């Protein structure tokens, strides 16, 4: 091999080694992570967290972050927030935020896909079952939970607890399930009995909860 070629090859080798060392150095001497805003929180995936238990993936959620998505309300009423509402207030909110898609008489607006919310009681076993909150839903907690998390369709999560209590009182009042004078809150919720409460049975398969 000529001296010229040997020099060229060793030069290339040095370049490669040098590049690798540089890349490695770069990772080790990276700048300390920037702070997010003026909190003490580190940027996700920063070297300090790489050494943590989760291998550097994700950040630990704060109590507020968890609370903001921990909104489920179970059939026993667990998870119902503080607050209260009435049929009268619910009627106003419904008119402003719901009637466009569910119609003022709660019978739905087919062209917009908004289902009817009341009626159809006793129709489930017929040839033309009409499934609504009134006729089909076995638990009132589902109504609170669903409206709270998913409605209005265009702005889910925007309603306050008081508004959801009022809308629940309104829909159930229009369906003749509760008295329209009822003040709905965490405690009075337990009094509600849905017409189809007994229409479901536990799934007997062993692998289902
Ligand atoms: C922009 C239209 C729109 C608006 C406004 C709207 N909804 Fe709905 N709503 C829908 C649609 C569409 C569905 C069906 C969603 C689905 O099946 O996935 C629905 C479903 C529902 C259901 C479940 C009905 C069932 O039997 O499955 C309830 C209860 C409900 N909405 C209540 C409300 C309330 C209360 C408001 C006002 C705060 C509201 N909606 C505002 C479009 C709307």
Query: Is residue 22 predicted with pLDDT exceeding 60?
Result: no
Q: Is 116 in the pocket of ligand 1 (CB under 6 A)?
A: no
Half-sphere exposure of 40 (CA within 13 A, CB side): 1
Same domain, 51 and 102: no
Within a domain: residue 65? no
Same domain assignment for residues 56 and 102: no
Q: What confidence score (pLDDT) does residue 30 get? A: 56
DSSP states of 42-84 as a string? Answer: BPTT-HHHHTSTTTT-S-PPPHHHHHHH-----TT-TTPPS-E
**Based on the domain organization, do 178 and 89 belong to the same domain?**
yes
Q: Is any atom of ligand 1 closer than 6 Å to the C-beta of 100?
A: yes
Whether pTM exceeds 0.85: no
Same domain as 185, residue 86: yes
Number of structural domains the chain divides into: 2
* Residue 204, token pair as written in the block: 């007997």
Kind plus residue range of the DSSP H or E element containing 149: helix 140-150
Is residue 197 a part of any domain in this protein?
no
Same domain, 81 and 47: no
In degrees, rounded to 5, the angle at the alpha carbon of residue 187 between the alpha carbons of residues 184 and 190 is 90
Determine what percent of the chain is predicted with pLDDT higher than 70.
74
Atom index in ligand 1 nearest the CA of residue 132 equals 26
Pick the last residue of a domain from 15, 33, 60: 60
- Please indicate, yes or no, if residue 206 is contained in any of the structural domains: no
């Amino acid at each position: 091999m000529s001296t010229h070629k040997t020099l060229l090859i060793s030069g290339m080798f040095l370049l490669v080694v040098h590049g690798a060392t540089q890349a490695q150095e770069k990772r080790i001497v990276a700048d300390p992570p920037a702070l997010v805003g003026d909190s003490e929180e580190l940027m996700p995936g920063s070297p300090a967290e790489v050494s943590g238990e989760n291998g550097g993936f994700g950040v630990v959620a704060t109590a507020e972050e968890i609370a903001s998505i921990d909104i489920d309300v179970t059939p026993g009423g667990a998870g119902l927030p503080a607050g209260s509402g009435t049929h009268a207030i619910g009627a106003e909110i419904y008119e402003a935020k719901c009637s466009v898609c569910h119609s003022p008489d709660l019978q739905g607006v087919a062209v917009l896909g908004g289902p009817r919310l009341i009626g159809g009681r006793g129709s489930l076993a017929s040839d033309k079952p009409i499934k609504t909150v009134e006729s089909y839903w076995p638990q009132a907690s589902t109504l609170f939970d669903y409206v709270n998390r998913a409605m209005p369709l265009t702005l889910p999560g925007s309603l306050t607890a008081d508004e959801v209590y009022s809308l629940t009182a309104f829909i159930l009042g229009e369906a003749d399930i509760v008295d329209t004078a009822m003040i709905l809150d965490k405690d009075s919720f337990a009094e509600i009995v849905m017409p189809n409460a007994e229409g479901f049975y536990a799934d007997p398969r062993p692998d289902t909860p």
